[in-house]
Amino acid sequence: MNPRQLLTWVALSAAVLGGATLLDRLGFPAPQMILAIVVGAVLAMSNRLPRPLPRQVSIGVQAMLGVLMGSYLQVSLLTSIGLDLLPVLAVTAATILVSVAVALVFARVAKVDVPTATLGMLAGGSAAVVSAADELDADPRRVAFMQYLRVALVALSAPAVAALLDDEEGIAYSPATLGGSVTDPSLPYWMIVGRGDQVAGISTAIMLCLIGIWVGRRIGLPNAALLGPMLLTAVLTAAGVSHGYAPTHLFKDLLFVLIGFEVGTRFTRQVVREMARMIPAMTVAVLALSGLVAVMALGLAHFVDLELSDLYLATTPGGINAVLATADKMNANLPLITSVQTIRLLLVMFTLPLLMRALRRFGAPRSAVTRVVQ
């Protein structure tokens, strides 16, 4: 990447941040993520994208988001939820089963092979699912398109749905309560981590990223760049060893913008044209899946003393990064939301091979079909 391309990305990020700040003042939910998705998609489909950001930048963004999410996993707040966490986790497992059921219907209607449809619709771990598609006899390009269309649709709709479900009753989770000793919400907007000593805070965050990625890869975590730093930070946060290392304010908003660009820029004109026939059925399938999850959250709210909007965000079939951006701007129950979303992500990754082995009985693998055609 040459200096001109780098300046282009800097200018794009600054423009989106500026626009998102205005939308934020108007009460628009999760504007950084949503605006970046829209701008990225428009640039991609008009063939005006600058050179893609280096892979190291994407890994760094994922790792810093892992540090951010890990800082919200506070044991004291999770303990306060108590036994209510058990039925929430049960609904989380049910969300995976509903994803598979919707995928089977979608496969029949859209005439897509079952492995591809299942991986494309599966909620949780989009990057890891796409990378495993070829090995699991699915079409990686279709899986990628379906996964990121799902993430984009849920990211765009989740703020509105959560706002409708938010009855402003129950526990009020303010930024100060969520941050605790990790983030000071009274810091100026230009601060990048959650304490006054910025050098010490960002140094700790970088070390958590590097060590977390290394540990995650060593123990074979799916999406080690995100989950490794997140789990390491969660341990550090629970132990109270350090504080003030979580990305905040300007830096946190920039992370959400870069994640939004990563999703939006995948919708190039060529990809959309090739997959155009799938878009109507896929959109209906994603909306149906989101609706079913919302119904489960509504039913669950009658049995647990938790905010309905929090339950929806904890179980919604969107990308964990998009959900985090929405929850953060709504001052939602982030310990609950990040915990449940992360558990589902791990559950999906660890059970994926067994799930695909069972689903292959519904149809021939893609490779076998390809050989017959050839």
pLDDT at 203: 92
pLDDT (tens digit per residue) in 98-112: 888 998 899 888 888
For 284-309, the pLDDT digits (tens) are 888 888 888 888 888 888 888 778 88
The per-residue pLDDT for 178 is 40
Q: How far is CA 216 from the centre of its chain?
A: 18
Q: Residue with structure tokens 């904890």? A: 314
Residue 126 to residue 79: CA distance in whole angstroms:
29
pLDDT of residue 370: 39
What are the residues facing 193 on neighbouring strands?
A: 247
CA dihedral of residues 303, 309, 310, 312 (deg, nearest 10): 80
Amino acid at 354: L
Residue 250 — pLDDT band, cuts 50, 70, 90?
A: confident
In this structure, what DSSP letter does residue 82 have? Answer: G
pLDDT of residue 290: 81
Distance CA 157, CA 135 (A): 32
Q: pLDDT confidence of 1, banded at 50, 70, 90?
A: low
Structure tokens that stand for 2 in this block: 């040459």
Structure tokens of 135? 């090995």
Q: What confidence tier does 17 reach under pLDDT thresholds 50, 70, 90?
A: very high
Cβ count near 299 (within 10 Å): 12
Whole-number CA gyration radius for the chain: 20
Mean pLDDT calculated for residue range 343-349: 73
Nearest Cα to Cα of residue 131 among 143, 148, 145: 143
The pLDDT value given to residue 135: 62
Tell me the two tokens of residue 366.
Answer: 């893609």
- DSSP letter for each residue of 321-342: HHHHHHHHHTT--HHHHHHHHH
The amino acid sitting at 124 is G
Digit-coded pLDDT (tens) for 133-157: 666 677 777 787 787 777 777 777 7
Please give the share of the chain, as a percent, with pLDDT higher than 70: 79
Q: Write down the pLDDT at residue 211.
A: 95
Q: How far is CA 114 from CA 103, 105, 151, in A?
A: 8, 9, 20
The pTM assigned to this predicted structure is 0.68
Interval 75-86 mean pLDDT: 67
**Local structure of 318: helix, strand or coil:** coil
Distance CA 41, CA 59 (A): 21
What pLDDT band is residue 365 in, cutting at 50, 70 and 90? very low
What is the count of structural domains for the chain?
A: 1
Q: Which of 93, 117, 115, 144 is nearest to 296 (CA)?
A: 93
What confidence score (pLDDT) does residue 205 get? 92
What's the pLDDT tens digit per position in 165-215?
Answer: 766 544 444 443 344 445 566 778 888 887 778 888 899 999 999 999 999
Q: What is the CATH number of the domain that holds 192?
A: 1.20.1530
pLDDT of residue 73: 64
CB 337 within 8 A of CB 306: no
Q: Would you say residue 43 has pLDDT above 60?
A: yes
Q: Structural domain of residue 310, as residue ranges?
A: 3-373
Q: Is 209 exposed, middle or buried (0-12, 13-18, 19+ CB in 10 A)?
A: buried
Mean pLDDT estimate for the chain: 77
Q: What is the pLDDT of residue 363?
A: 53
Across the range 6-26, mean pLDDT stands at: 87
Phi then psi for 247, rounded to 5 degrees? -55, 140
